[in-house]
């Protein structure tokens, strides 16, 4: 059990650093009040977890340890629901109702689609 905790924790550490860098990069690249950095990171994380789950479901390409590292650890640290909620609250407080609706709707819909596409993609090539 301790071993799995460290595996997930190390994956989370790397995912968190990756999220911080990627989110900052995209937010600074496109100067907008729309939280594009978090949006891109969360959609990418959904796509990646779809791939990782597909790899573990078909062909046993991932050991249970690698699955824990990549899904619970890396993707768990890479994506962030609390930042998503905080940014939505800020959009509401600022009166950006259109951005609020777009961010919420697109995040949920495209996030689910990205997970599905990642999973379907990996299952077709392996």
Between the CA of residue 60 and those of 12, 49, 55, 76, 118, what are the distances in Å?
A: 22, 15, 7, 21, 17
pTM over the 0.85 mark: yes
Q: At what angle do helices 97-125 and 81-93 cross, to 10 degrees?
A: 160
pLDDT per residue as tens, the chain (126 positions)? 999 999 999 999 999 999 999 999 999 999 899 999 999 999 999 999 999 988 988 877 889 999 999 999 999 999 989 889 989 999 999 999 999 999 999 999 999 999 999 999 998 888
Closest-CA residue to 20 (of 100, 79, 85): 79
What φ, ψ does residue 60 adopt, rounded to 5°? 45, 45
Backbone angles phi, psi at 106, to 5 degrees: -65, -40
Whole-angstrom Cα distance, residue 51 to residue 53? 6
C-alpha dihedral (124, 53, 117, 21), degrees to nearest 10 = -130
User: Residue 124 corresponds to which tokens in the numbers above?
Assistant: 């077709």
């Amino acid at each position: 059990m301790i071993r799995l905790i460290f595996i997930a924790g190390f994956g989370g550490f790397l995912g968190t650093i990756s999220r911080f860098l990627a989110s900052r990069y995209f937010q600074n690249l496109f100067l907008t009040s729309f939280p594009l950095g978090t949006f891109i990171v969360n959609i990418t994380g959904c796509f990646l977890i779809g791939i990782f789950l597909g790899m573990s479901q078909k062909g046993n390409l991932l050991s249970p340890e690698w699955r824990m590292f990549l899904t619970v650890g890396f993707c768990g640290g890479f994506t962030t629901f609390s930042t998503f909620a905080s940014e939505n609250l800020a959009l509401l407080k600022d009166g950006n109702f259109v951005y609020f609706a777009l961010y919420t709707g697109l995040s949920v819909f495209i996030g689910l689609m990205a997970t599905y596409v990642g999973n379907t993609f990996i299952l077709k090539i392996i």
